[in-house]
Structures are given as structure tokens and as C-alpha cells.
Chain A
Amino acid sequence: MAGLKLTNIAKSYGDVDVLKDINLEIDAGELIVFVGPSGCGKSTLLRMIAGLEKITAGELQIDGRVVNDVPPAQREIAMVFQSYALYPHMTVYDNMAFALKLAKMTKAEIDAAVMKASDILQLTPYLDRLPKALSGGQRQRVAIGRCIVRDPKVFLFDEPLSNLDAALRVATRLEIAQLKESMPDRTMIYVTHDQVEAMTLASRIVVLADKGISQVGSPLDLYERPQNEFVAQFIGSPAMNLFPGKIVGTGEQTTIELEGSHGTVVSAYPSQDGDMGAQVNIGIRPEDMQLSDDTSGFNGVVNVQENLGEVTLLFFTPDTKEAEPVIAKLPGIHRGLKGQTLHMTAEPQKVHVFMNGKSLLYR
């Protein structure tokens, strides 16, 4: 039963700030995923939790104990590295047993722990092999096994699937999900840049951007109610469409007049009287765009059509040339839309409004 508490954590290398003011509480038994673009500091944050990077400022508690200056081995954590970091000169058995030998456990205890872990991970036939004689997926499992045998309170995963091919990645993702289910009281922190991994695995996602936490929430929270434009565009594929516009109607619902040849849209987000005339961006996910005869919404000519079978992606541009193409994701197959002028709308509940980059919902 180990929760984590990060209070005002900061990291800087010399004058360069990498992370600042990270505040986060993680409950015992959660599977938290850190996502963010490359270089946002998600791995650094994980390594600070592991104790491999010094914490520049702030306080890190694991299980109620401040561990800022506690060496990694005594933090009761275990880590799976991106490159697995298996000891190349040791057999699978020795790789898993290494930490236990260092902890001076008896031969029988070590044997039992390794056998149990290798059973769970189906590694028993390979115990005598060296890592170089294993496939990528097997190495991955050894790396996880090395964590399991130590029975840590917190598991740390640093982009563990990024070196696997696509098919194996899906399979291993499922294995990690099952592993989590078999150990409901163990906390896991998982770093990835792959939003599919984040959405499928996480109990809560922490989106990191611009040296700090952008939003924390359940996967669907982030999808349905993004706090800001960054999270809105980061979660979901293709990324959410953003249109500049002006508020022309306030109240329970907000009416926005769009720039260019588009008309107006109505959002279910509430706004205040003072917002009248304010410049905002509205965001609509491609999958929320609907074909319609109503010309008051989005209008444009389809430039590119991508047929994926299950869905059809349309890239259409409004008449004004400089505007960004709008992406719509229509379910099913639509033939011959290229070159046509289309009219699209979206339901008010699916229209997000951002003022100065922040969602109107969260102010």
C-alpha cells in the first residue's frame, strides 16, 4: 500500500529548468501514465522518483516517507528501462536473482521468487539463456520479471514498449494490463509518448508539457473535457481541429462566429456576459464533425480524402487560402467526396471553447 506525493518538485540542470512546480498525489494501486511530447521531462520525472536523478527542489514522499535523499534501492521501487537494461553477461535467472542476491536472501528464497516470476511471465524455459539469445518480447518480460521478484511497492516503467514491433507492442500492453490486475495493491507509474498506451493502460493520465503538469485525469476525462488547447490536441488522433473565432452569444450556451468562410457554431460550454466579443479558439475533434445541409457551420472544399475502410478522413479547406485544413473523420466508406464543397456541423456538447488557451469549462 504505497501512495506517492510530489510536492513542488523541480528539476534544473544548471540554469536550464526542466521541470518546475510538479504537484501530484498518486494513490496506492493506481496505474499512472505520464505522457507528453519528447523532451517534456516525463522520463526525468520518473527517474527522480526512482532516485536516479537528484531532485533540485521540492519533496517526494513514497508511502508517507520523504525519500528525496534515500538511495534508489531503499525506496522499494523497481524500474523497467526503455532498453530493458538486462545484464548481458548474466543468464535470465541471474538477471532476475541479482537484486535478491545483493539483498542477501537465502538460495531457497531466491529460487522461489525467481520461479514464481518466471512462471507468471512464461520465462521458465529460458532461465539458462543469456539475454542475447532472447527475442525482444522475451527480453522485455525478463526486465519485468526482474522487477516482480523484488516485490516492490512501486513499479516504474520508462517507455517499455518503444523497442518492440507493432504487433508485439499490443500483446505486451495487454500483458502489462493483466499484470496490474493481478497486483491490485501495487502502484505503477508508466512513461510513454504513445497516447494509445496511455489511454488503454492508465487509471489516470498525467499530461506533461512546458515544464509542468498540463492536466491530470482519467483517460476519458482528458478526451472529453480537456483543460487546455495542448491537452485537447495531444489526446486523440488525428488531432483536434482548432478554429479562431469571436463570441457573439453568451449564457448557458455560447455562440461563436468563426473567421473565414465558416459560419457560426454553438457550444454547450457556458460563458459570462463579459465574454461578449472575446477572441477564442474553438476545438472540435475530427470524429465529432458531421455532414449536414446546413451552410451556417463549416464550409469548404475537400482537398484530400483518405479511405481507411472503417473511417474516411477528409481534409477540407475553407475558401480563404491561408486557413488551416479542417479534418473530419466520418464513419464508414464515402466515395467520391474529393473536390466537392461540403457543409459540416457539430453537436454543441462536442464543441470545446478555449480562451487564451484555457478551456471555458475550467475557469
Chain B
Amino acid sequence: MHPALQGLVTIIIGVGGCVGYFVLSNYLLDRFLLPARAMTADETASRRRIGLIAFFAVPALLVAGLVVMYGDLLSAGGIFRLIVGALVILGLWRLTGFIFAEGPLTAGHNISHANMIRPWLFLFPAILALGLYLTYPVFETLRLSFTQRIPGGYEFVGTANYQQMMSEPKFWEAMRNNMMWLVIVPAMSTVMGLIVAQLTDRISWGNIAKMLIFMPMAISFVGASVIFKLIYDTRPIDQEQIGVLNAIYLSLGGSEPQQWLTLPIWNNFLLMVVLIWIQTGFAMVILSAALRGIPEETVEAAIVDGANPFQIFFKIKVPQIMPTIVVVWTTITLTVLKVFDIVFAMTNGQWGTQVLANYMYNKLFTANDWGVGSAAAMVIMILVSPILIWNVRNARKEMK
């Protein structure tokens, strides 16, 4: 089959599956589980019998079949699965009284109970997918970070991976660089985004300027890296420079073209420029919307009170959008902590530009050291978590 056709079929199956799931599950709920009508005691009793069989007997048979075929309940994984199964059964059992209540029921009882179950029908696929692709990997990575590969499997090594990582200078270089990224990129992006948002607010070609500044958001990190690699490009002194930076440097009286990406410390900042270039657009869009949300009358009141444009900006506007600034700042911080593509595409961590995500990648996929790679991943997660929680809280507070 043609790949495009395959893709189309996949989309149809996926979308159809989603629609089918939502329609069918709601249909079952409203038609059989909790129909919107009054029920007699006889009816509820028979419904309870049939319902319990469907609830427990059918899944039980399925699971029993799987156990017979793939046995081995006494290993660690088997016990884990038994516990999960027991919890599911316990949960369903606690639900039976809720769904299959006995005695005569009113239509109102059924409708209100159905409406309490319905949100979970809609949430279930998301919970399942997120659990499978996000929650489970976190725990699996945690487990892997305490193991090392031996021929034919894994062995538990305690904190050896972490100790090895701590003793590597490359790790500490990555930590140091990450901290630098963490301080500089969100600050520069937010400040520049704020300045651009304010400056483009009142001018006639402001929207065009905003569009141009926002456009890097549409470019992938790798694409941006390629662009900036050309900007930082170096040619021997006797040749025409194609890198803009060297061209400027030479025209300003520089003696010879510099290999910018190999200059220690400075090359870090040159890499950060790429991310700032991308994230400024994001900060600008959000902050521009926030600035427009400021009541015009408070600005006018400040004018009457005698504030000059700087005072209006710093004492009236910025404090009023502070919650948004915090959300923008923390969101960019999260991106920065995970920064990988730019470093990978431009220096691959050489010349003192290593960052944690690239360090993890090198360990995991280049050196094939899954243990240390997972340990690095855990470090990144531990660094991200508090900022993530803070970010979500701020975003929620702002939504209120």
C-alpha cells in the first residue's frame, strides 16, 4: 500500500476508534447501565445479576485465559500484575453498589448517577495513554537507573550509576551549563518579549513586526540550529566569509575569523541565542495579549496622576501582568531544562557546551549505558518537577 494511503487509513481508524469509543460507551451507559427512566425492584435485581456477570465474569475469564497461556505469576512482574488486577477488582466491586443499586429507582437517580460516571468515560482514554506513555516510563526509568546491563539481562547495582555520573566532569559541566541556560534564556526571552510586546502595541506596522518575531516559533529547534550554524560559520582567512558573525567581526576590525562554536564559555551563549531567538516570539505573544487585557482606564488614571511612560510601564502595566510574566518565565524555564536539539545539532556537547539532556542522550544511545542514561534522565526530571508544579499552579491561579 502507498504510504500516504496507509497514513490516511491510520487516521481513519484512529479517529473512527475514538468516535466509536465515545459513542458506544455513552450508549451503553445510557441504554443499559443507567437508563433515564424509573425502574422497579425486579428490574434492578435482574440488571444487577446481568451487570455483575458482565463486570466480573467476562474479564475474569479473559485474565484466566492469559494466565494459563503466559503463566509465571510468581516472578516480580507477575506479582505486580496480580496486585494491579486485585486493585481493579476491588475498585469495580466498590462501584457495583453505585451503578447497580437495588430496589425501585427513580429516573432522576439514574440520570444523576450516569452523569457522575460520564466524565470518566471521556477521561479514560487520556488517562490510559498518559499512564502508558508518561507515568509508566517514569517508574521504568527509575528502575533502570538502579540497574546495569549484563549479558542476557539486568542486574541491580544500587546507586552505582549515580555515583559514576557524579564522578564524571562532563556531568558537572552539563549541570553548570544547564544552570547558565536556566538563568539567561528565560530572563532574556521574557524581557525581550515584554519589550517587543509593549513597543509593537501602538505602531501601525506592529502586527507585521510581531509576525516576524513570532515566526521562529514555527521553526524546529534543529532547523534554527542549522540557520545559526551558518551565521556562526567560519572560513579560512583568505576566503570570503559566509558566516554573518565573522563578516561583522572582520568588518569591525577583527584580525582573523573566529571559530565561534569552539570558544569556551562564549559558545554557550551563542547556543543560547538560538533558543532566545525562538522563545522571544512565544513570550511576546502571551505578554502582548496580557498587556491588552490591562484596563485602559488604569493607564489613563496614571497619566492623570502624572506618571511618565516609563513609570506607566513599570509601575502600572508590569505589576498588573506579573502573574502572566511568571507563567511565561517558568514555561520557558521548562523548555530550557529539557534543551537538547540545539546542542545536539550544533556542537553535540563538545568544547564545553554539554547540557544534561544531551549528556543523557550520549549515555543512553551512543555509549549504550542505559543505567547512567536513566540516572541522568532522573536528574533532569527532579530539576524540572518543582518548576513544573509551580508553573501549573500559577497558570491555574491566573485562570480563576
Contacts and interface: CB of A to CB of B under 8 A. Distances in A.
Interface residues of A, number: 26
What is the interface residue range for chain B against chain A? 10 to 19
A85 to B, nearest CB: 4
B105 interface: no
Interface in B80-94: none
B162 to A, nearest CB: 45
Contact of B298 (A74, A78, A88, A99): A88
Contacts of B319: 87, 89-90
Contact of A50 (B304, B307, B311, B315): B304
B297 A82 contact: yes
B386 interface: no
A109 to B, nearest CB: 15
Nearest to B297: A85
A98 B302 CA distance: 8
A52 B300 contact: yes
A82 B296 CA distance: 12
A341 B41 CA distance: 69
B304 A83 contact: no
B297 A83 contact: yes
A73 B306 contact: yes
A73 B305 contact: yes
Contact of B306 (A86, A87, A89, A99): A99
Contact of A85 (B301, B311, B322): B301
A81 B320 CA distance: 18
Interface string B279-316: 00000000000000001011011111111000100011
A78 B298 CA distance: 13
B294 to A, nearest CB: 9
A29 to B, nearest CB: 21
A78 B300 CA distance: 11
Contacts of B305: 73, 98-99, 102, 146, 150
B225 to A, nearest CB: 40
B304 A73 contact: yes
Contacts of A51: 303-304
A79 B307 contact: no
Interface string A52-86: 10000000000000000001111001110111111
Interface string B153-169: 00000000000000000
A215 to B, nearest CB: 29
A73 to B, nearest CB: 3
Q: Is the interface of B mostly helix, strand, loop or mixed?
A: helix
Nearest to A99: B305
A177 interface: no
Contacts of B307: 73, 98, 102
- Of B298, B311, B319, B322, most buried by chain A (CB within 10 Å of CB) is B298
Contacts of A83: 295, 297
A89 B318 CA distance: 10
Contacts of B297: 81-85
Given A85-B295, A87-B298, A102-B311, A79 B322 contact: no
Contacts of A74: 306
B304 A77 contact: yes
A79 B303 CA distance: 10
B311 A87 contact: no
A52 B303 contact: yes
Nearest to A143: B301
Contacts of A170: none
24 contacts: A51-B303, A52-B300, A72-B306, A73-B303, A74-B306, A77-B304, A79-B300, A79-B304, A81-B297, A85-B298, A85-B300, A86-B298, A86-B301, A87-B298, A87-B301, A87-B319, A88-B320, A90-B319, A98-B315, A99-B306, A102-B305, A102-B307, A102-B311, A146-B305
Interface of B: 295, 297-298, 300-307, 311, 315-316, 319-320, 322
Interface of A: 50-52, 71-74, 77-79, 81-90, 98-99, 102-103, 146, 150
Given A73-B307, A79-B301, 15 more contacts: A50-B304, A51-B303, A72-B306, A73-B304, A83-B295, A85-B301, A87-B298, A87-B301, A87-B302, A87-B319, A88-B320, A89-B320, A90-B319, A102-B305, A102-B307
In the complex, the 8 A-B pairs of residues with the closest C-beta atoms, listed nearest first: A73-B306, A85-B297, A99-B305, A85-B301, A89-B319, A81-B297, A102-B306, A72-B304
